[in-house]
Structure 1
């Protein structure tokens, strides 16, 4: 998958790029940076872990949510066809379970300023519509995803190579992430000698904390424009963000 990213850069004619990855995409981004460090202007790893057993969420909220997800699948036989009231109810239940993994309770409880409806209700509709249009993830895709994150890992020498590669690295994470536990992000940032910016959100901080994430990305781009090459580049500190600099 890292090779696919490099091939896309070749196709677009991009010699260098600011590489940003979320969750498993961050693992892919790290492999891309190791394969072709001269083509990376900066590396931002979002909502990720070091892979392997760290990819298995073992906190109580995640385990409870997973149990609810298993029951929704068991009760949702035939839901892929999108027929009948039972299938529709199962799709809604599965969407709610997915939202519990993806977003913070704080965000889900907020009201949309335009419609006045809860963000949770709007996201449930979005997830159900996407499921109806695209169908469930194929079994091969699920197994491939699991295989990729469980086999991912950075050796000590690879971590040293990334830290010394000559581009800024930043780790962004949500303090309420129950998929990729924050303690693993702290460990990864420390291993890479990179700053960790902990945000008040969950696994999908790219939506949960979109403004803060964009500020951090723009700050990294500007730092590189000004000549930053060290792993511990300066970074923004928007509201509701705690920074742990693990140099």
Structure 2
């Protein structure tokens, strides 16, 4: 049964009461529906670089995952399946029988689960800087352990710079004022980079418990784009290649010299790639 949307606009943000949480979301643009799903500790409006490129051609829905930002309170146990159910409910508020689904990092796992459980509602998948088995990311490499520690311990400026090293490649950071960049990303992400939202550890736990590997073959025939970045320490390209190879017919694209924040660093190129993928998926067969 469809939930009562209870949607009230506040500065362009709507809300939906769903299973104990008031989900905050926004809808922009015209055209074929698109749902954009963010990763750990990042608000939905961090898709702004993509919204600026997609909304001329698509009706785009973004949202804060439950327990993060304006989507409060957490309301129930946090799992990838629950977050995919939230996406289904948000699609229902728009009357969308189906939509293109774009996910980044944890959002990629949510997108995969939605496609595996609600195949008819997913027109295409775009899986950015993500993976199939969450445990491969939540058991970090030595580099990620060091950066993770540095992002949580010490002066706030040091913590911000350690976080930047997790999402931007070294060459890009040499060309930026780190404090100015940290400020811009804080505005996009919805929090100071020196701080981790309280729900982040629960999101990591949900991610670590999820594994779509045994079911990837079920996604055969679904137009799927998988994107990795060569310098990504969070979702290394080897995991993206495994994901792309596991989905029959998926297209795999690797961005050289980019990192986990490729959607920001190379927004124009990412948007062109997404628009091409969505157009192919929508083309008559």
Larger-gyration structure (1/2): 1
Higher relative contact order (CA 8 A, sep 6+): 1
Distance 2:149 2:129 in 1: 22
TM-score between both structures, scaled by the size of structure 2 = 0.64
In the alignment, structure 2 segments of 5+ residues that lack a partner are 1-82
- 1:58 is displaced (CA, Å) by 4.2
Distance 1:205 1:35, change over 3 A: same
Distance 2:121 2:284 in 1: 15
Point out 4+ residue stretches in structure 1 off by more than 6 angstroms.
none
Whether 2:271 is the aligned partner of 1:211: answer no
Identify the match of residue 145 of structure 2 among 46, 54, 63: 63
- The answer to which structure has the higher strand fraction is 2
Structure 1 residue matching 2:130: 3-state secondary structure: coil
- How many residues are treated as equivalent by the alignment? 199
Identify the match of residue 4 of structure 1 among 86, 89, 92: 86
- The answer to which structure has the higher helix fraction is 1
Give the equivalent residue in structure 2 for 1:113.
none
CA RMSD of aligned residues (A): 2.3
Give the equivalent residue in structure 1 for 2:251.
195
Distance 2:143 2:226 in 1: 23
Distance 1:13 1:192, change over 3 A: same
Give the equivalent residue in structure 2 for 1:120.
178
Structure 1 residue matching 2:151: 3-state secondary structure: helix
Give the equivalent residue in structure 1 for 2:27.
none
Whether 2:187 is the aligned partner of 1:137: answer no
- 1:62 is displaced (CA, Å) by 2.3
Identify the match of residue 109 of structure 1 among 174, 185, 189: 174
Contact 2:108 / 2:128 at 8 angstroms: preserved in 1? yes
- 1:160 is displaced (CA, Å) by 1.4
Distance 1:29 1:67, change over 3 A: same
Give the equivalent residue in structure 2 for 1:39.
121
